[in-house]
Structure 1
Amino acid sequence: MIPYGKQAISQADIDAVVAVLQSDYLTQGPQVPAFETAVKNYSGAQFGIAVNSATSVLHIACLALGLSEGDWLWTSPNTFVASANCARYCGADVDFVDIDPHTYNLCVEQLEQKLIQAQQQNRLPKIVIPVHFAGQSCDMRRIHQLSQQYGFKIIEDASHAIGGRYLDLPIGGCRYSDITIFSFHPVKIITTAEGGLATTNQPELAEKMQLLRSHGVTREAHLMDQALEGPWYYQQVDLGFNYRMTELQAALGLSQMSRLDEFVAKRHQLAQRYFAELANTDLVLPYQHPDSHSSLHLFPILLPASLNRAEVFNRLREQGLGVNVHYIPVHTQPYYRRLGFNAGDFPQAEAYYQRAISIPLHQGLTYEEQGYVIDCIRSLACVD
């Protein structure tokens, strides 16, 4: 099976993890701060906070921004459920903004119209989470302009997008957001096996997220309500969680960071071959916006309406292609239907979903394997 995404583990990665196993620290040692520094420096942000998953990062990012019961969070329906679930963890309400039919990202025009209506109804969001789908940045400059006008905070869900750029600056620098989050699941650009990280330029947000990832417990005197009783002393000053990243995960991530640009470049090389060899078919290939240099986490193609997606999917799987579909619109999931959402609420996301298949694209994909993928797909599509 040729998977749609896969980790690329080198001997250097293995050696880095083994070195941690042979060290004094398996958790709360020097590797996590080193990994945080590597990611924040690469992204151009002032702070990095590593945790055990991107879902955990989304949760504590929302809490750090004060999201709670009675508040609204808006995000894209074309994402994994975690982008919306983080609001529910905080007791907040969720709504969605339909996607742009070209980039498959949250549509800024739809966002603006929804904000106008929400202001009239006194239901403006406290937080908006644009999702950089497939590694391509949303139009963050325009979203930031709307945040200034309507008073919401921004969390960039860049789970797909480390190594990408927007307006020629690295994604994650938080120039147009309060917090950016990354994912390091094995199918992402780089991996820590499981893991996530938040970047921010606001020290109070960084301090809050650092506190929340570790039980709300601190040894920092300035956060306590009384003097230290001794070197052993700590206080729980907030209700936090055990969301810490291990030293093993951080060592793997730190090693992988040294090859991040190489991984993204390889994905672009592979994508250019797809664009060249699938251009004369009736498939819709992913649009690449000139303001964005995508990290190309995914390569979703849209099938023509004449083809049955389920039949195509099954046939490709039978031929050994580990294709997948990204994503089932969040608002159509049973949990969100019970909250009042219905099919038809966000037609662009639903139309995209009905025709989408993600084909293999990862840095370990060989030339021969990609050629086989192309042959299989061309045999199903109408070729000019």
Structure 2
Amino acid sequence: MKIAVLMYQTSLTKGQELVALRMVKGLRKQRKDAFLLSTLFHDGKRVPWYEQVLKSVRGYVVKEEFGVPVIRMDGYISSWPPRRIMLRDAQSTFRYIVEDLGVECFIVHSTLWNGPEELTRFKLWSDMMLKEGLSDRRLIACFMPHYQPPSPIHYPPIERLYREAWNSTVFPIIFKTADLILCTTPVEIDQMIELGADANKCLLYPGGIDEEAFNNLGKVDVYSRFNIPNDVKMITFIGTVEKRKNPAAIVKIANNLRNRKDVIFIVAGSPSDQADILIKATRVLPNFRYIGEISEDEKISLIRASYANIIMSRMEALGLTQLEFMYAGKPVITSAIGGQRWLIRNEIDGIHVNGPEDIEGATKAVLRLIDNEELASDMGKNAAKRAAEFTLSRITENLIKRLESL
């Protein structure tokens, strides 16, 4: 079976994009001919060779990127909805990809862009042609929403109402047409069923730990590279430095503990709308350090060197980085938003605080862990066992079984 995994852009740091990339890697490791299908964009910018795609006769170009074959097709950044990239001339390009490359299955990620709609239309067209005898191959179409409920707490009114409109108009036809709905958590499965999905079509697919990366990387001396004292316990956040992830809350926690000499808070990730706050905090707080964007090798090294992970996110479908910290045996302090409440078991794998603004609760949680190494160790061991259930090889094997049964 040849599979194309569709996402609106590529990235080595953003959660949904990483899940799509790792899905392709996992499928290929299990001897499936899989491609990553995306637009001209990587982290919001056009790839340097985008003109090759624009000039191509068939509307796409295949190149090796990130260790996998990537199909690039045309797309554009939308003025609305925000933070989305749209496909251009999708039906023709999908058709050529099927004809030229023999793709039999598409798995589309995310919501609020036209990829799911275009794939649904292409799937219906394909089914109709098969029924009329104009085609001899069945197309499999799968959808992975990474769903975030349109909460008034998390979205301004205009965006929230647009999300509700998208959900009301697009989800019903997707649920009717898709062969499989992939969900990051049981919470998301319940949400999809409530919105109209068939429970029998829903499959748990919680991101996945790249075991190979942990086996081959992680040998960087992060203490030396980032000028971190060797005799302190690192409480670490890794992720995009944006309001949604809320790393600015960690500055407040560090300020509460500024007189403790045995702990330091490390924030790593690509800069966004909260970067200035973190840069300023690095200058004025002795126990806080923003080290910017880091490589995959540095990331795994930092995870291994850390004492615990902290995330005060306002929205989180799952938390791929939390899975990675857990896999390395690190306890997690979390705001317990969305799928985090399911992934990190309170008082077992880590500590839940009362939402993203619970600075006092998070401060107390940090103190509990740094003052009780036995507790931190026990939670870390539990976390490692929990994360081992969600390795890329395991969840991919389960996905393949379902695809082959369709």
Q: What's the TM-score, normalizing by structure 2? A: 0.28
Q: Determine which structure has the larger strand proportion and give its number.
A: 2
If asked which structure has higher relative contact order (CA below 8 Å, sep 6+), I would say: 1
Structure showing the higher helix proportion among its residues: 2
